[in-house]
Amino acid sequence: MNGEPLVRWDWLWAHLGPIADRIGQHLYLTAIAVGVGFVISFALAAVSIRRRRLYPPVVVVATALYTIPSFALFAALVAITGLSILTAEIPLVLYTFILFVPNIVAGFDAVPWDVLDAADGMGFTAGQRWWRVELPLALPLVVASLRLATVSTIGLVTVSAILGDRFGGLGYYILDGYHRTFTTEILVGGLLSIGLAVLADLGFVLLQRVLTPWAAARAVSR
Amino acid sequence: MTTPATPTSRAAALEFRGVTKRYGSGEESTGAVNDLSFTVPAGTICVLVGPSGCGKTTSLKMVNRLIEPTGGQILLDGSDVMSEDVTALRRRIGYVIQQVGLFPHLTIGRNVAVVPALMGWTRERQQARTDELLSLVGLEPGRYRNRYPSQLSGGERQRVGVARALAADPPLMLMDEPFAAVDPIVRQRLQDEFLRLQRALAKTILFVTHDVDEAIKMGDLIAVMEEGGRLAQFGPPEEILAHPASDFVARFVGQDRGLKRLSLSTIADLRTEPLGRREGLPTFSPDTTLRDALSILLVADTRGGVALDEAGQPRGLVTVDAIASALADDRPRRAARA
Ligand SMILES: Nc1ncnc2c1ncn2[C@@H]1O[C@H](COP(=O)(O)OP(=O)(O)OP(=O)(O)O)[C@@H](O)[C@H]1O
Ligand SMILES: [Mg+2]
């Protein structure tokens, strides 16, 4: 490639500010998608737990959504929601369902029945039982699903760069570098995106430790 | 013990009055509990015993309303449990189950203090109570307070289960096969410790087991249930062993009910014969059960053994005949538990 070095460090130093902004945008887009996806998924999981017959269809739909290529979904949504943030977020949110719902349901299913029987027998109200027993015991799988969805979404956010330079987070550099055949930009976008995913992953591992010290105690005693 | 432990203000009388439970409705409804009536005086242990599926758990769970009866009444100190606020009712009834059901995400200390916490006790009061109870069930508070249930043995967990049920000093305890999940040696120790505890606490206890020996050992009163949730016999253990009310009860308590009766009495209860030469004869401490003494005499093949008194002095001669005549005696005293 006409004698260019693989990484143009001068470009990198000159663009530290914009790169930081892109990281911010990347995290912002990720946080909205994971947050909204989590709330909707939690509701879907709650309904599935209470009405078991609804669970299989919910999983089928969530899986079907996940099979739609992101590229196609972003493109198709432009026709409906234009080049708005909705177009960027809707696919990201839809893709989280299959990562959240089965894990949340499994988390609540994993609460031992004898513990619930004991809680009822000792006089927990329904609300107390949910907040003090069911939720804490479901937490390991709930946090695991947050970890999964966050890492996955951080990767997918890059694709939203096709909606223009107001979106995409670090994906902007990947797309721009591709158009200009500028390796430095592609590497910056790609590697930083991977770095964010790794950091998020570690963050959730730590959060898991803090929130469920008892699970660690069990692992040690085995 | 002959006399039931003195009832304290902390124990409640429990009465089943024509209690019935049917699952399902119409054609396919099955009777799990059928017209069950009996009274448990305050401060005594009543054991529900019977074959699997005879409705023991169902009967127990109707007391704290985890299951609603189809008919009849359950009275706690004279008032219908159905008339009370369900949460308040459950908080003043201790509940111990075979699977223990400790909260895996809470430390042992917080597990024990669960009901006090629900009742809004101060942290200090909860902590003091927790330590007191852990000591009571033989777990050193300093060592166990901050552990998680997964870090305890099965027997230790079961003790925590008992401590947790006692936390708010309930006047009634419901125990569903509380010692069934541990091995026989641990079970025996837990039973002995629990009886020792009960002597001091004098709670009213409804205790479920399918093990006749456990029923005889633990119960001041035994309710034998048969298939279909019917009461086959109700009375003190010695009466059930001596006079089974039906073939079912006789079969259920076993061919060896005579021997079982002997295990309810000890050497201290026995009339002895004058002691002659004592060389080579086995000796029996006062708390040896007649069953064990008989076994020892049969194996030793001697004319008798020496009964010792509390001070370890010879009291008289124990013979196989004397033990046999104790069975003829209609109501051997239950000194084993005194
Ligand atoms: N929720 C339920 N629906 C229908 N039938 C039930 C239900 N719970 C219990 N039964 C039936 O009621 C009967 C009594 O059950 P219960 O659990 O009280 O027996 P149990 O005496 O405790 O037996 P075990 O010694 O095996 O624990 C059984 O025949 C059981 O199949
Ligand atoms: Mg049962």
Q: Sorting pLDDT into bands at 50, 70 and 90, what band is B334?
A: very low
Residue B5 predicted with pLDDT over 80: no
Query: Mean pLDDT, to the nearest integer, of B102-114?
Result: 96
Cβ within 8 Å, pair A118-B148: no
Domain residue extents for chain A: 16-213
Distance A111 CA to ligand 1 centre (A): 22
Question: Contacts of residue A123 in chain B, CB cutoff 8 Å?
Answer: 86-91, 115, 118
Please compute Rg for chain A using Cα positions: 21
Cβ within 8 Å, pair A221-B150: yes
Q: CA of B98, closest CA in chain A: separation in Å?
A: 9
Number of Cα atoms under 13 Å in the Cβ half of residue A87: 23
Chain B residue with the nearest C-alpha to that of A138: B105
Cβ within 8 Å, pair A133-B103: yes
Rounded Cα gap, residues B109 and B148, in angstroms: 9
Cβ within 8 Å, pair A115-B103: yes
Query: Mean pLDDT, to the nearest integer, of B174-191?
Result: 91
pLDDT (0 to 100) of residue A5 = 78
* Mutational test site, ligand 1, from B25, B33, B58, B67, max ligand atoms within 8 Å of CB: B58
- Number of Cβ pairs closer than 8 Å across A and B? 74
Please state which of the ranges A33-47, B119-133, B309-323 shows the lowest mean pLDDT.
B309-323
The CB of B103 under 6 Å from ligand 1? The reply is no
Q: Sorting pLDDT into bands at 50, 70 and 90, what band is B330?
A: low
- Written as tens digits, the pLDDT of chain A (222 aa) is 456 778 888 998 998 999 999 999 999 999 999 999 999 999 999 999 999 999 999 999 999 999 999 989 999 999 999 889 999 999 999 999 999 999 999 999 999 999 999 999 999 999 999 999 999 999 999 999 999 999 999 999 999 999 988 899 999 999 999 999 999 999 999 999 999 999 999 999 999 999 998 887 765 554
The CB of B25 under 6 Å from ligand 1? The reply is no
Q: Are A145 and A99 in contact (CB under 8 A)?
A: yes
* Rounded (10°) CA dihedral B269, B270, B274, B279: -100
Q: Selecting from 1.20.120.1200, 3.40.50.300, 3.20.20.210, 1.10.3720.10, what CATH number does the domain A16-213 have? A: 1.10.3720.10
Ion ligand 2: residue ranges with CB closer than 5 A: B 57
pLDDT (0 to 100) of residue A220 = 54
Number of Cα atoms under 13 Å in the Cβ half of residue B209: 23
Distance A76 CA to ligand 2 centre (A): 59
Atom from ligand 1 closest to the CA of residue B54: 21
Q: Sorting pLDDT into bands at 50, 70 and 90, what band is B329?
A: low
Distance B74 CA to ligand 2 centre (A): 19
Q: Are B241 and B260 in contact (CB under 8 A)?
A: yes
Structure tokens at B135: 């000591």
Rounded Cα gap, residues A97 and B153, in angstroms: 40
ipTM score assigned to the predicted complex: 0.83
Could you tell me if A60 lies within 8 Å of chain B, comparing CB atoms?
A: no
Number of Cα atoms under 13 Å in the Cβ half of residue B309: 7
Please state, for a pLDDT cut of 90, what percent of chain B lies above it.
69
Cβ within 8 Å, pair B90-A123: yes
Q: Among residues A188, A190, A189, which one has the least CA distance to residue A9?
A: A188
Q: Among residues B237, B155, B154, which one has the least CA distance to residue B192?
A: B155
pTM of the model: 0.84
The dihedral sign for the CA sequence B170, B176, B181, B184: positive
Structure tokens at A2: 């006409």
Residue B31 predicted with pLDDT over 90: no
Which residues, in sequence order, are bridge partners of residue B17? B73
Rounded Cα gap, residues A175 and A158, in angstroms: 9
Could you tell me if A127 lies within 8 Å of chain B, comparing CB atoms?
A: no
Return mean pLDDT, chain B.
89
Ligand 1 atom 22: residue of nearest CA: B57
Residue of B96, B103, B169 best to disrupt the A interface, most CBs of A under 10 A: B103
